[in-house]
Chains A and B, each alone.
Chain A
Amino acid sequence: MTDERTTAALQGSRWRRSVALMWRGLRAEPRLYVLAVGSSAVFGALTVAVSRAVGWATDTVVVPAIGGDVEAQDRLWQAGLVLAAVAVTLALSVAGRRIWAGLGFAALQARHRRGVTAQYLRLPMSWHRAHPAGQLLSNASADVEAATGVFNPLPFALGVVVMIGVAAGMLLSIDLWLAAAALVVIPAAVVVNLVFQRFMAPAATRAQQLRAEVADVAHESFEGALLVKSLGTADREEARFADRAHALQAANVRVGVVRAFFDPVIELLPSLGTLVVLGVGTWRASTGAVEAGDVITAAYLLTVMAVPVRAFGWVLGELPRALVGYERIARVLDARGVLPSGSRALPRTAGGLAVRLDGVGVDVPAAGGTARLLDDVDLEVGPGQTVAVVGSTGAGKTTLVSLLARLSDPTRGRVLLDGLDLRDLLDGEVPAQVALVAQQTFVFEDTVRANVTLADVPDVPDGADVPDDAAVWDALRTARLDDLVQGLPGGLDASLGERGANLSGGQRQRLAIARALVRRPRLLVLDDATSAVDPQVESEILRALRGTAGDGSAVTVVMVAYRMSSVALADVVVHLEGGRVVDVGTHRELLGRDPGYRSLATAYEQETARRARERADELAVGDETEATAPDAPVAATPKGRTR
C-alpha cells in the first residue's frame, strides 16, 4: 500500500484541471460513456435532421401542396412518415443518452465513495483524530455529489458539439452568409457563458460555503441542546444561527441576481440570432442565392438548438463546484501515513503476552511547536499479569494504552509484544491478539450477536473462524451481560438501535468487554472501560478475567482505572503523571513510597478525615461558645438549618 501511486489531486491551471477532471471521469467508465456520448451525438445529428426535414417538408410538400400542387399533396403522407421516423429515433437517442449518462453518473459516485471509504478504513487513528467525523461524512456525500455533478450534462454537451458540426456543414452547403448569420450565436453563447462563470463561480462558492456554515451551527447547537437549555442560551443560539442564515440569504440572492440576468440573455441569443437570419436571409433571397425554405431551415435550427447549446452553460456552471468537491475528495485519496506493517508473526499460544515499552515518547503538534503527551516511558509487564495505570485527568493514560493496540505508533522508543516491535508485525497480528476496550463504546446498529462477534454470520470474517453462539454466551457471561441478553426478545438476535441507544452506559461497556473477550485475546487493554459499571459487577468481571491465573493461561490485562477496589486487584500499578512514569510497584508499595499516588489513592479517605476534623473543630468551637454563653442561638451549629 505504500508504493508510489499517481496522486488523485489535479495539477496545473484551472482549465487543465477541469479538463483532466472530466477526462478521468469518462475514462473511468469507458463503456457507459462511449454509449452515452454516442447516443448524444446521434441526438445532436438528429436534432439538425428534424429541422432539415421540416425545411424539406415545407419546401417540397407544404408550400407546393397548399399552392395546389397535387403531386406534393400525394407526398404529404410520405413526409409525415419521415418526420415520425425521425421523431422515434430522436426519442430513442434521448433515452440512450440519459440512461447511460445516468448509469455513468451513479457508477462514478460509487467509485469515489468506495475510494474515500477505503481510505477511512486504511488510514491510522492519528489521521482520524485530525479530521472531524462530520467532514469525512461530507466528503463521502456532498463532495462526491459536487465532484460528479458535471457528468450529468457532459455527454449532452459533447453531443451538442456534434450537432453544431452537422449544423454548420448543412448551413454551409446552403449558403455561406446564412450559415455565418446562424452560427454567430454559438461563439456569442460561449462568451456569455464565460462572463457568467466569472460572476457565478465566486457567488456559488460563497453560497455553498454559507450552506455548510449554517449546517455546522445547527449541528453543533442541536447536539448541545441540553447545554443550551441548562444555561438558557437559546436566544444567543438563535442570534448565532440567524446571523449565518441571513448571510446565506444574501448569498443566495446574489446567486439569484446573477442568474436573473444571465438566463434572459442566454435565452435572448437564439431569438436575436433568428432575427439576424431573417434579415440576412431576406437579403440572400432577394439576390436569389437562397429560397424561403432555406431561411426557415436556418431559423428553425436556431430554435431547436437553443436548449442544447445551453448544455455548455450547465457544464461550465458545474465545473467550479466539481473542482472544489473533487479536490476535497483527492485530499482523502492522497492521504498517506498508513502504519507500515512488517513480516513477523506472534506465536499462537494460549498464555498472555509479555509487554515491554522501551523509552516510549509521543508528541503531537500544538500551537507553536509540539506538545509531549508521553515521554521516556519504560515498562515491563509479564505474561498473565494484571497492570493498572493510574494518574490524574490528562496524565496521558489513554495515549499510553492505545499504543499497545497500535492505534498509533510512538514518536520515540519501541513497544514490544513477546519481544517483537509492533511495527515489525504482520498486518492483522495486533488485532488478532490484542483487544482494546475504549472509554466510549461504539455500538453498531445490528444484532447483539453481530455486535459481539463483529462478523456477518453467513460469511467468513477476516481470516478467523466465526465464534459460535456458545463462545458468544461465554463472553457475555464473563462480562456479566448474559442475564440482560436472555431477557431481550430474540436473545442474541435482538437488534440494538442507533449507537446502542437502548442500552445504558454500563451495559454498553459490558457489551464492549464481551466483544473483546470473544476474540480470546492474549492482551486485554481496558481504558477506563468499566467506569459506568456498578462497582461490585466491575470487581466480579476483573476477578473472572484473572480467573485461572497461575496455570499459565491467564490473559495479560492492562487497565486504566480510578476505583481503588479495582486497582487493588492489579499485580502491578503504574503511576503516570504529565506523560511520565512516576513509579511502578504494587498498590501497597506505591502507597508507601509515592506521595502523589497516595494522594490520588486516598483522596476520598483523606477528604472524609479532613471533614471529620473540621466538624470536630467546629463542634469544639461550638462547645466553647456554649460553655461561655449557655444561651447561644441554635444557628451557631454549622448548617443547623437543615436539621
Chain B
Amino acid sequence: MSDSRIASASTLGVLATLRRGVQLSPQIVQGLWLTLGLAVLAASGRVVVPLAVQRTVDEGIGATGGPDAGRVALFVALAAGALVVAGLCSAMVNVRLFRSTEAGLAELRVRAFRHVHDLSTLSQGTERRGALVSRVTSDVDTISLFVQWGGIMLLVSSLQVLVATVLMAVYSWQLTVLVWLCFVPLVLVLRRAQRHVNAAYTTVRAKVGAMLGAISEAVVGAETVRAYGVGRRTGRRVDAAIEETRSAQARAQVLVASVFSGGVLVANLVLAVVVVVGTLLGVGGELTAGQVVAFLFLVQLFTGPVQMATEILNELQNAVAGWRRVLAVVETPLDVVDPPDGVASERGPAALTLQGVRYTYPEGPEVLHGVDLELPARTRVAVVGRTGSGKTTIAKLVTRLMDPTAGQVLLDGVDLRDLGLASLRDRVVLVPQEGFLMEGTVADNVAYGLRDGTSGADDVAARVSDAFEALGLADWVADLPAGLGTQVGQRGEALSAGERQLVAIARAYLAAPDLLVLDEATSAVDPATEVRIARALDSLTAGRSTLTIAHRLSTAEASDLVVVVDDGHVVEVGPHDELAAAGGVYARMHASWVAQTR
C-alpha cells in the first residue's frame, strides 16, 4: 500500500498550530479579552481565604484584649461576598469559553469533513477510512475535552500562580524567592519527564491501534475464522495484543504516577522549608506569626496549580497533536480542483472526446499511453480488455475522479477541468463495481440518487418503485423480506454482492445522468438478471450515452461501439459485428467468451 498522501499531522509548532487553528475557527477567540478579564477576577477570588485567615488570626482571635468577634464577623462577611462574586466570574468564564470553542470546533469538524470529500479518490484511498474518521471525531474531541477539563483549569491555574506569587511577595519577598527556587528545578525535571510520559502514551496508542486491528480480524473475519476453524489461534493473537496494550498502559501509568508523586513530594517539602525559614525570618523580626501562617496557605495556593499545570500541559500537548492532525487534513492540497469560474455544462446528450490521454499513478508506471477516442452523443460504448489493461482508469478519467497526466478529456468539447464539478456530476454518473449502500432501507438507498430532494415522500416512493419496475426488478423487490422497506444493514451487508449491485443501478438510474458510466456494475449478478437489466437500460437510456466497462462480453455485443484496450493502448474501435469478424484481439476475446457461456 502506498504511503498516505494526507499528512499524519501538520508540522507546525505549538504556537503556530494554535495560530493556524484559531485562524480557521475564529469563533474561538471571540470576546476573549472579556473572558480573560473575568478569569483574572475569578483567580483573585482564590486568595480571599488566606487573607481572611491572616486577618482573623492577627486582628481577630489574636487581637490585643482577647478575640474580637465583631471584626471577625466583618472579615468573614466580606470574604464570603468576594468568594461569591469570584465564583460567578468563574462560571461566566467557563460558559463563555465553552460556547466560543465549541462553535469554532464544530466549524472545524465540518470543514475537515468536507475537505475529505473534496480530495480525489486517489488521495482518499491512501488513508484508512477509520483514520480519516478519527480526524473529524476523536481528534476534534481531544481539543474539545481539553477545553472542558483542562483549558479553563490551565487558565485559572496560571492566573492563580501569578496572583499567589504577587501576594506571597507582599508578605515576604525572601520566602517567595525561596518557593520559586524550589519549584524551578521541579518544573525543569517535569518537562523532561513529560517527554517520557508522552512517548509512553504514544506507545499505548500504537498498541491500542494494533489491538483493535487484531480484534477487527476476529470480527470482520468472523466467517473466515469459523470456516477454517482457527478460532483458538485468532484468540491467541487477540489475547496477545490485549496483553501488550495492558502492559504498555501499565508502564505509562507507573511513569505518570512517579512524575506526579514527585510533584507532591516537592510541594510538601516546600511546606517544611517555609515553616523553618519563615520562622527564622520571624525570629529576625521580618515577619509576624500571622504572616507566616498566611504564607503557608498561600504556598498551598501556589503548589496546587503548579502540579495541576504540569498535568494539564501534557493534555495541552495531546490537544495540540489532535489539532495538528485535523489541520493536516484541511491543508492537504486538492488534486482534482473545482475550477473557481467553472463552466456550467448544458444538459443534453453527452459526447466524449479523449485526446492524447496519458495517465501515471503516483509512484507507479504509466498505465495509459496516449489514448485518442471520439465517443459521439447517444452512443452505447463498451470498453473491453484484460485485467490491468487500463479500462478502469478510463472510467475514472471520464468521470473526473482523477485528471490525466497528459492530454485532455472533453465533454461536449469542453475540458472536464474547466467544467464546474457540480455540473459535471449532474451530467456524468459512475456506477462502480462495489455497490456501496448506506444503512437504511432499499428505498432510502435508491432515493439517494434523486437530484431534487424537494418532492414529497409519496412521490419519492413512487419514483423508487417505478425505477425497479422499469429495470425489470420488481420481482426481486417483491421477494425481499420487507420489499422496498427491507433494511440493507451497514454498508448494505444484509444483501448479497449481486443484490447490492441491483440497488446501485436503480439508484444511478434515478439520478438520470446524460452519461452513465458502468464499471463492471453487474459483475456479481446472475446472467439472466444481467441480460434483463442490460436490455432495460438500453431502452431507458435511449437518447443518452453510456460507457460500460465489461468483463462479460454480452454487453459488448449489445453496444453501438466497442473499444478494445490492451496494455494502456486502444487497439481496436468499432461495432461488435465488424470487430468480431475482423479476426483481431476482440475476435479472440469474444470467441473464448462464447465458449465459456455455452
Q: Give the residue name and chain of the A residue nearest to B424 (CB).
A: A232
Whether A62 pairs with B282 at a CB distance below 8 angstroms is: yes
- Name B's interface SS: helix
Contact of B531 among A218, A230, A367, A604 (CB under 8 A): A604
Whether A603 pairs with B61 at a CB distance below 8 angstroms is: no
User: Which B residues are CB-close (under 8 A) to A68?
Assistant: 283
Q: Give the residue name and chain of the B residue nearest to A273 (CB).
A: B49
Q: Which of A159-167, A474-482, A558-566 contacts B (4 or more CB under 8 A)?
A: A558-566
A535 to B590, CA, bound (A): 13
Does B181 touch A at the CB level, under 8 Å?
Answer: no
Whether A607 pairs with B254 at a CB distance below 8 angstroms is: no
Question: What 0/1 readout, one digit per residue, does chain B (247-261) give for beta carbons within 8 Å of chain A?
Answer: 101101110111011
Q: Give the residue name and chain of the A residue nearest to B50 (CB).
A: A303
User: Which B residues are CB-close (under 8 A) to A278?
Assistant: 52-53, 56, 60, 72, 75-76
Q: Could you give 6 example pairs across A and B, Cβ below 8 Å?
A: A76-B279, A264-B90, A268-B83, A364-B481, A393-B525, A531-B524
Whether A536 pairs with B432 at a CB distance below 8 angstroms is: no
17 other A-B residue contacts (CB within 8 Å) besides A235-B422, A608-B557:
A62-B293, A66-B287, A95-B257, A113-B215, A113-B245, A117-B215, A137-B216, A225-B116, A231-B449, A241-B110, A256-B97, A279-B73, A281-B56, A431-B228, A441-B224, A564-B597, A641-B379
User: Which B residues are CB-close (under 8 A) to A504?
Assistant: 387-388
User: Which B residues are CB-close (under 8 A) to A636?
Assistant: none
Whether B425 pairs with A232 at a CB distance below 8 angstroms is: yes
Q: Give the residue name and chain of the A residue nearest to B60 (CB).
A: A282
Does B322 touch A at the CB level, under 8 Å?
Answer: no
Whether A253 pairs with B102 at a CB distance below 8 angstroms is: yes
* Interface footprint category on B: 35 or more
Question: What 0/1 readout, one digit per residue, does chain A (53-95) give for beta carbons within 8 Å of chain B?
Answer: 0100110011101111000010011011101101110111011
Q: Which of B187-195, B234-242, B313-321 contacts A (4 or more CB under 8 A)?
A: B234-242
User: Which B residues are CB-close (under 8 A) to A77?
Assistant: 276
Whether B233 pairs with A461 at a CB distance below 8 angstroms is: yes
Whether B253 pairs with A222 at a CB distance below 8 angstroms is: no
User: Which B residues are CB-close (under 8 A) to A132?
Assistant: 489-490, 493
Within 8 A of A (CB), among B442-462: 448-449, 453
A115 to B350, CA, bound (A): 58
Does A23 touch B at the CB level, under 8 Å?
Answer: no
Contact of A274 among B53, B260, B530 (CB under 8 A): B53
> What's the minimum C-beta distance from B357 to chain A, rounded to whole angstroms?
20
Q: Give the residue name and chain of the A residue nearest to B433 (CB).
A: A505
Does A588 touch B at the CB level, under 8 Å?
Answer: no
User: Which A residues are CB-close (under 8 A) to B48?
Assistant: 271
Q: Give the residue name and chain of the B residue nearest to A275 (CB).
A: B76
Whether B238 pairs with A117 at a CB distance below 8 angstroms is: yes
Q: Give the residue name and chain of the A residue nearest to B80 (CB).
A: A275
User: Which B residues are CB-close (under 8 A) to A506?
Assistant: 387
Contact of A83 among B103, B275, B388, B424 (CB under 8 A): B275
Contact of A263 among B90, B130, B220 (CB under 8 A): B90
> What's the minimum C-beta distance from B450 to chain A, rounded to whole angstroms?
10
Whether B223 pairs with A407 at a CB distance below 8 angstroms is: yes
Does A28 touch B at the CB level, under 8 Å?
Answer: no
Within 8 A of B (CB), among A559-610: 562-565, 578, 599-601, 603-608
Contacts A264-B91, A274-B49 given: A236-B596 contact, CB under 8 Å?
A: no
Indicate the member of B56, B75, B271 with the most A CB atoms within 10 Å. Answer: B56
A57 to B234, CA, bound (A): 63
Question: What 0/1 readout, one digit per residue, does chain A (325-364) give for beta carbons within 8 Å of chain B?
Answer: 0000000000000000000000000000000000000001
User: Which B residues are CB-close (under 8 A) to A65?
Assistant: 279, 282-283
> What's the minimum C-beta distance from B203 to chain A, rounded to whole angstroms?
13
Does B136 touch A at the CB level, under 8 Å?
Answer: yes
Whether A226 pairs with B121 at a CB distance below 8 angstroms is: yes
Does B343 touch A at the CB level, under 8 Å?
Answer: no
Question: What 0/1 readout, one digit per residue, does chain B (83-108) give for beta carbons within 8 Å of chain A?
Answer: 11011101111110111001101100
Q: Give the residue name and chain of the B residue nearest to A438 (CB).
A: B223
Does A255 touch B at the CB level, under 8 Å?
Answer: yes
Does A555 touch B at the CB level, under 8 Å?
Answer: no
Contacts A84-B269, A407-B227, A604-B597 given: A222-B297 contact, CB under 8 Å?
A: no
Question: What 0/1 readout, one digit per residue, does chain A (421-456) give for beta carbons within 8 Å of chain B?
Answer: 000000010111001111111101100000000111
Whether B212 pairs with A137 at a CB distance below 8 angstroms is: yes
